[in-house]
Structure 1
Amino acid sequence: MKNDRIAALERLIKKYQDSYYNGEAEISDAEFDLLWDELRSLDPGNALLKKVGADGQGPDPDGFPKARHLIPMGSQDKAANPEEFRSWAKKMGMETEKEGVKAETSLTPDLFGLTKIFLVQFKLDGASLELQYEKGKLRAAVTRGDGVTGDEITHNALAMSGVVAELKSPFTGGVRGEVVMPHEIWKKKYPDKANCRNAANGIMRRKDGMGCEDLKLVTYDAAATGDDAYFTDELEKIAWLKKQGFETTDTKTFSDIEDIIAYRDEIAAKREKLPVDIDGLVIKDRATDMTDLRRARPEHQIAFKFELETAYSILRQVEWSESGATYTPIGIVDPVRLAGTTVKRANLNNPDMIRAMGLKIGSAVSVVKRGEIIPKIEGLAPEGALEEGEEKSEIEFPSKCISCGTDLIDGGTRLYCPNAACPKRLVHRVEKWVSVLGIMELGEKLLARMFAKGNVRQIGDLYTIEAAELAEFERMGEASAAKVVRHIRTKRELSLAAFVAGFDFEGVGETIMDKVAAAGIDTLEKLREASVADLAAVYGLGDITAKTIADGVKECSAEMDRILGFNIIAIAPPPSSDSIPLKGLSFCFTGELASMKRNEAEEKIKTLGGSAKSSVVKDLSFLVTNDTESGSAKNKKANDLGVPILDEEEFLALLKNPQLAGEYRNKGH
């Protein structure tokens, strides 16, 4: 289940990054942050956490020319609560309860040099923009894009307030800010947009530039080309930006941890009354550090987010969303404001949750955001929180599958269609297979088109499709089609656990199948012969999961043989005493590998008897990274714990010659 959720989070984050950076965002920053935070908690070393922005592949749909940034537009680490912020602040050398040190106004440098000072700025909820200057004259305005390259929208930027065409000094370099839309303008002219950020992001990318006069740029950073010493003090940088004619984000200085936490609470209480949207505070070291700024995720600054909100509303209706064979209840509530967006839909999880909460149409409910794509109904609202109507009605559960007409089964934690040939179920299974194998070129939209045209109905159909068939799809092209087919047909050796997980048995992921294999049911033949009782005897499995596995293997047996018959996918043999040279060794990865994807590296480790971990722990054998000198949290923890750090070249050498393990551990990488 954990691996399934990680794969789902990866797909969602990529989808919402694309909509954020290349159009109008579909969800709020707060909602996106929850998805990001959940992925980080489940898989701290996930490569996606190291990337910024959209993929940047293919032609720009809006036709803007591309340009490289002068200031790297990386992402910030985030603190979701005071405890996480305290942990970061103490690492940075900030003190607490220091007498006589209080918040100063935005341009008071008196304390600089006497104690550790940090800038605290509003975290603006808009769209990032870099202004590029040459000898004081604006040369280009570039959107965030993928963090390295963005769209050049200079014409649109010049129509915004706050954009300075010619500076008062002959500065060559970049100025960074956030494009925002004031609440007043949004209410008057763009109430059809979900929020100010969505409106700003869409307008600034209009080819005709219409509406850009309704936007303004608020700045917070600058860097001179070829001169890292141009700015040495972040507070002086803010003063310089103001002198050049820029509007800057609200800035204060602090040296006490608890003062910053109290200031956050103060701002959170009045954020709705501010003229523009903010979604937290940014805390950064006052001393300018260009080396840190160039990192994909700078270490000397952090976004201190506001707390999650709870809202109360009335449940008016329940809709049932299909995901594969499963029907998930979605509550339709009276509109409420939550985390910067208007909420009308909230997750209800499953039939048992509805029954346990005693929900009815007309009930007053508590709505929160806990990392779901949409908000979640957590229960009934406190008594007296809302005035309820007198008439309430029972929630009706669907009885038949709308895709195939089969009677649905209410399993309590799941309402589902049992028909193995249900079209929705088949689509979901192929999506799961693609996810387990990590075939990034096969997105959900492309798979949907392949199903709609009849190219694919089962997993095995992927291995018969030809590039000429895909090239007929709109905007595909021969080169792209050939690339997709090439990646589908790349030979892969999977563990039994990964192979079975790809068939999308309900609630059965790689972790569960690893337990099955470890119990001695470690080949497909043994799995086919295993009874429900045999599987239920595996530690950590129950009767329901055992039956799910047994029924699933029986149902998919022919399809499994068909896939293996193409000689593209192979199941790795169970490790023997001679083939497990990495037994007892564990590996954690951080960052991307050049020679293979992370899931491939983990499979190679498993076939040699080793194990893959998602975080750096005391008994970890090796951390693998291509940036061994990075100051990342994983690298720091590995150094603190004495865990050897390998680069990719050393890791590949170890795969070929496992005897190197002892040498590497003694070298103290």
Structure 2
Amino acid sequence: MDLFGEDGIEGRILELEGLIKRYQDSYYNGEAEITDAEFDALWDELKSLNPSNPVFSRVGADNGSFAKVHHRMPMGSQEKAAEDGQFLKWASAHKYDEYLVEYKLDGASLELQYDSGVLVRAVTRGDGTIGDDITQNARKMGGVLPELFGRDGERIAFTGAVRGEVIMRHSVHDSLYADKANCRNAANGLMKRKDGSGSENLNLIVYDALATDGEGNPADNPFSDEVGKIEWLASCGFDVVHLEVLPDADSVIAYRARVSEMRSSLEFDIDGLVVKERRIDFEDARRTRPDRQIAFKFGLEEAVTVLRDVEWSESGSTYTPVGIFDGVQLNGTTVQRASLANPDTMRRLGVKIGSRVVVVKRGEIIPKIEGVVGSSDGCREIVFPSVCSSCGAPLVDAGTRLFCPNQGCPKRVLHRLQKWISVVDIRDFGDTLIRSLFRDGVVKSVSDIYSLSVEKLTPYFLDENSVGKKDSLGARKVFDSIQAHRKMSLPAFVAGFDIEGVGETVVGKLVDAGFPTLDSLLSASPDDFSAVHGFAEIMANAVVEGLSENRAEMESLVSSGTIEISGSLGAPLPLSGKSFCFTGELRSMKRAEAEALVKAAGGSCKSSVTKDLSYLVTNDKESGSSKNAKAAKYGVSVIDEDEFMSLVKPSC
């Protein structure tokens, strides 16, 4: 049954035509109103209702700020596949001896026109036939060559066109244009500024070329196939797109999965792969939508949706804003919640209830709201909580966090107890037990944990079927586990006190920087910590304040002999100052056991690969995983399980 009815279908087709034209124009002018996923949904719907609609042969239109120039080579768009099944259907109709696969760059298309090896014009994609002449802006971009020279230093007498993608690197976006939703939008806007400002922050990566006779007619190319084309462009000095040659369609699917996993480690955005044959098909290339190549896109990493509410997640003393929005598909999962980080981030974004927001989920990162699309006029302001839900104390808005300042706040004390048990790794001490002990006033501080006896614990392990019993195996097990965790490293000891933003890695850096004992940490000033690499004034103050708040109990635990801090008085522990990240399965132990070995030896563990990581541990060093790729990018040592055990064995 037709959901629209005959008249309804015609009306919907007209509506879709108008929407697609509008969003195409905004996209090509650097002011994209919707995401690729939203645009693709409109496109697919129109294609299902009216496959021959003229809008499919339309590309886009640039603004009127620049002179209009005809392209020398076709600049149409591509067929696309977003799922394995769609790609295999295309591949079954396009059986090649081998498949050439290139990164699909997520930027803005640009054609460079050369006469006898000299750049004469740079033209945007426009409507696929005519674009804007932005030559003066393009000359400022990295990767745009004013003249073409071969490796022998001789000028190449090439007349024709070179096509590439204008991209913005992530580092540039993060440092200069973080207010833009993504790198592509920022690049689109900058390249079309009338004064050219900002174009120097863009780069061109090329992937196509076509020789002409100077009047737009085809001429003999200096290459014979698609592989030779990329090699020739590289020999001219261009930055070229990455190319792989694969034997069959299944290999393409496997390669796409590997690239999808590691693409977060690239310096620029890609949103899929371009799959084609080795032979250059000029007739197909002249089509508005070439048939013999396809864009095999990745699962979506970002989407635009409407913010409906903000909940405040309470963890210890900190209140963290979490956005609630209309569900969107990101990397194959439906997402309806994402972090808003802190009050300062919310104010910087200008987010309100009803705002259209950009939600991202890249690699292993938890979803977060990264930007606002369009105006938030008419939307409702977000109300911040003003008092602590547990103790009623006025909350403090410090910008980087919203928190309860009351050290005696029950919620804050309970969270510290939970944090201690987690960091020290008293595994048999479950969350239900600590909550019950705290509720009954039996445990109100870290020191109280070590005063627990089997007799005190036993009532919490008895039920109606064990009335009258005086012993409990569970109580004995918890008691023994507590006693086995009286010795620990200084980073673990301090991290267990739940100081905001101060984990084992942070304390480890201070230990390595010349604060190897508890006394030296407690005696330090904010200026002392600020002098340590990676510690700014805010962090230094937070550490000093946190240590001061917990000083009495810290000193009491150590002076009484309740806790022994290993390595703080004599030689440092074997892995002191070293950090480890694990990926994949281990053969001889569980990951938690390996992490416990690291901590016992004075090292620290991370869940992701960062620039200051010491070792990535994996039994598959050749994996194309995102962690392996980041380790290679940052120069982090990659070791296997045997090598790891050789490091920790002396400390075991």
Calculate the TM-score normalised by the size of structure 1: 0.45
**Structure with more relative contact order (C-alpha pairs < 8 Å, separation 6 or more):** 1
Calculate the TM-score normalised by the size of structure 2: 0.46
